A = this chain, B = another copy of it.
Amino acid sequence: MSELPREFAIIARHFRPLAGQGALGLGDDAAVLSPPPGRDLVVAADAMVAGVHFLPDDPPDLVARKLLRTNLSDLAAMGAMPLGYLLTVSVPRSTDEAWFAGFAAGLARDQQEFGVSLLGGDTTSTTGPIGLSLTIVGTVLPGQVLRRDGAQAGDRIWVTGTIGDGALGLLAARGEIADPDGFLVDRYRVPQPRLALGLRLHGIAHAAMDVSDGLVQDLGHLCRAAGLAATIEAAAVPLSAAARAAGRLNLCLGGGDDYELLLAVPDQAERALAVAARESGTQVTRIGRFAAGSPCVSVIGPDGPMRLGRSGWDHLG
C-alpha cells in the first residue's frame, strides 16, 4: 500500500500516544465517552493564534500547555472537574517535526498533571500563522456549577493568586521590560488553572469567572450579569514582587492573561473560603465589594478614584 500522507504520520507519531479512553486510538471518525453517571457535562472552547495569543517563537511545549491551561481555567471558573479534550491544529506546511514533538510533549506533561487525555481532533495546513483550537470537556454535580450571574449587593470581591503578571510577562517576552529571573515570562506562558479551588467553591461563591481579558473588564462582566456596581481598592489587588518592581499598576489592572479566579463571596462564607483556599493551596485576596447601582467598576487608588482609560484585551477590535 502506498505511503500514507504526512498528516497521518504526524497523528500516529505525536498525537496517538496522548489519546485516552474513548478516543479509539484517534483512528475513528469520533470518540465515544460514557459520561460519569449522575454528573452534568461542562464544555468550553478557546482558540489561540500565533502572533495574537502567543509569540511565534514561543517554545511549542509551552504553547501547548498554555492552550490546555486556559481551557482548564474555564472549567475551574465553573467548579468543574476535567475529563478530556479535543484539539485542532492548523500549521504552515513548513512546520517541522520538532515543532509537533515539542507541542505533544507539552500536552503529555500537562495531561499527567491535570488528569486529562486527548479525545480527538484534526491536523491541517494553513497559509497563515499557526492556529490552534481546543475544546475541553469536564463534569460537575448537577446544581453545583459556578455561574457568572449570581453576585449580590454586599458580596466581597476576591481574586486568586496575583494579578498583572501575564500582561507584564508579555512585555518581558518582547524584551520591553526587565524580568531578571524569568518569573513574569513564565506566568505569561504557563498560567495556573485554579481547579482545586474551583471544585471547593460550591456554597461559598455566589459568582465566579476566570480573569482572561483583564481584571477591570472581566469584573465588568460580573457587574452586568448581576446588575450591580463594583468597587475595588487598587492597594488591595495582590501583586507579585516582580509586578511591584515593574510599577505598572494600570497595566496590571487592565491587562489580560491572568487566568486567576474572580469571585463574589458573601461575608458569612469567608471562613469557608479560607478553608477551601488552604486545602487547595491557593492564595485568595479580598479586593473590593459589590453594591446596588448600575453596572460600573470603580477603582480607588491612593489619591481617590482612578481613571483607567480603555482597558481589557479585545481579540477582534
Contact = CB atoms under 8 A, between A and B. Distances in A.
Interface of A: 1-2, 5-7, 10, 24, 27-35, 40-49, 51-53, 74-75, 77-78, 80, 86-91, 93, 119-129, 131, 133, 135-138, 140, 142, 145, 147-149, 209-210, 220-221, 223-225, 294-297, 310, 312, 314-317
9 contacts: A6-B314, A27-B221, A31-B44, A32-B78, A32-B140, A34-B142, A49-B124, A51-B127, A135-B135
Nearest to A89: B47
Contacts of A33: 40-43
A82 B262 CA distance: 34
Contact of A27 (B41, B120, B148): B148
A317 B7 contact: yes
B128 A127 contact: yes
A209 B24 CA distance: 13
B32 A145 contact: yes
Contact of A123 (B51, B120, B316): B316
Contact of A49 (B30, B125, B147): B125
Contact of A86 (B44, B48, B124, B149): B44
B41 A35 contact: yes
Contacts of A119: 43
Nearest to A128: B128
Contacts of A149: 27-28
Given A47-B133, A86-B44, A296-B1, A74 B29 contact: yes
Contacts of A47: 88-90, 122, 124, 131, 133
A221 B7 CA distance: 13
A147 B28 contact: yes
Given A2-B310, A120-B45, A315 B7 contact: yes
B35 A35 contact: yes
Residue among A29, A138, A224, A295 with most chain B CB within 10 A: A29
B78 A124 contact: no
Given A1-B223, A51-B127, 16 more contacts: A1-B220, A5-B314, A24-B147, A27-B148, A27-B149, A31-B44, A32-B140, A32-B145, A34-B41, A34-B142, A44-B86, A45-B120, A45-B121, A47-B131, A47-B133, A125-B315
